[in-house]
Amino acid sequence: MEPGSVRENDLHDVLAGLGPWPGHVVVGPGDDCAVLAGAGGGAGGGVTIATVDQVVEGVHFAPGEDLELVARKCIARSISDIAAMGGAPRWALATGAIPAAMTHDDAKRLLLAVHRWGRHWGCPVVGGDITGTSGPLVVSVTAVGVVEHARGAVLRSGAKPGDGVYVTGRLGGSLASGRHLRFEPRVVEGAWLAQTLGTRLHAMMDLSDGLGIDGTRLARASGVRLLLDAAALPMHEGVAGWRNAAGDGEDYELLFAAGGEVPSACGTTGTAITRIGTVQEGKGCVIVAGGVEFEGGGLGWEHGG
């Protein structure tokens, strides 16, 4: 858990209530990305999506962590938000607040790694800012992408009663295993789902704080209830049980709600797609295990990711 008395979810709620927005802001704060249309946003009449995320030493990575992996994680987190809208990353900006104790060579290594990972995912870092700090390392990455398919940007808010609830890949144990530093953002899968399911893909987001908390967010944004089956959760090897799969966080898999038939794997990458529940009328995200209902919001790790 992180330091301080700040209740981040409350602040995110404040932001989500700051409308109305000017006409070119299609979606403001509260989803994985903002959605911008027209001048300053659009790509030939299409939509641009934009997100920013940060990693802080001691919160999102351990002091002394390999800077290559720190850079990778910060880029990958923002690109995962682009993936969660079904978008394609296009360009990025980055900042580094560099601790006094960091050597110049290490700062340079970090910088070059941020650039390399941006390019790796088709998202070159076209600008940035570097400054000193008396505190821990803070790296932020703004990623901007486009939505290239007819479905448009996939929001968290479209889930409908009767939809199936699905996740890509497997869940749990991300921090313990180090996967949180090495995950693959689901860019190809997100775009493939939007292309393949079209308007049947009703809502999508990426899992950063764990299925329980993030499922609760998707349910709230859509005004529905998610009923999930603990026994159906796809788990990584070595994960002790469904509470870890739903609560460990930092999975960066896609959670989505869709109507009709959904393939059991991504046609492009082969990444597994698993049905884990159903959308109902009501509210909240409930995980049923051994006949008992658990509130998803009470599981997992709130780091404001």
Interface of this chain with a second copy, residues 188 to 247, rule: CB under 8 A: none
- R_g (Cα) of the chain, nearest Å: 19
Cα 283 from chain centroid (whole Å): 22
> If binding is defined by CB under 8 A, does position 93 make contact with a second copy?
yes
CA atoms within 13 A on the CB side of 127: 2
Binding mask 38-77 for a second copy (x = CB under 8 A): xxxxxxxxx-x-xxxxx-x-xxx-----------------
**In Å, what is the CA distance from 135 to each residue of 58, 96, 104, 131?**
11, 12, 16, 12
> If binding is defined by CB under 8 A, does position 14 make contact with a second copy?
yes
CB of 71 to a second copy, least distance (A): 14
**In Å, what is the CA distance from 280 to each residue of 87, 156, 197, 223, 224?**
27, 15, 20, 10, 6
**In Å, what is the CA distance from 204 to each residue of 108, 121, 217, 222, 273?**
36, 20, 11, 10, 13
- Biggest CA–CA distance in the chain, Å, is 57
> If binding is defined by CB under 8 A, does position 138 make contact with a second copy?
yes
Q: Please, which residue, 105 or 237, has the CB nearer to a second copy?
A: 105
CB of 252 to a second copy, least distance (A): 15
How many angstroms separate the CA atoms of 61 and 69, rounded?
9
Q: Please, which residue, 95 or 274, has the CB nearer to a second copy?
A: 95
Q: Please, which residue, 111 or 187, has the CB nearer to a second copy?
A: 111
How many angstroms separate the CA atoms of 50 and 146, rounded?
9
The first and second tokens of residue 196, run together, are 């393949």
CB of 207 to a second copy, least distance (A): 16
CB of 181 to a second copy, least distance (A): 17
> If binding is defined by CB under 8 A, does position 124 make contact with a second copy?
yes
Residues 71-90 that bind a second copy (CB under 8 A): 88, 90
Residues 246-305 that bind a second copy (CB under 8 A): 303-305
Q: Tell me which of 69, 107, 235, 288 binds a second copy, using CB under 8 A.
A: 107
Q: Please, which residue, 18 or 265, has the CB nearer to a second copy?
A: 18
> If binding is defined by CB under 8 A, does position 132 make contact with a second copy?
yes
Judge residue 45's burial from the number of C-beta atoms within 10 Å of its C-beta, 0-12 exposed, 13-18 middle, 19 or more buried. Answer: exposed
Residues 142-161 that bind a second copy (CB under 8 A): 142, 144-146, 148
From the list 23-31, 199-207, 212-220, 246-254, the region that binds a second copy by CB under 8 A is: 23-31
Which amino acid is present at 12?
A: H
CB of 122 to a second copy, least distance (A): 8
> If binding is defined by CB under 8 A, does position 17 make contact with a second copy?
no
Angle, CA 258 vertex, CA 256 and CA 263 arms, to 5°: 90
CB of 36 to a second copy, least distance (A): 6
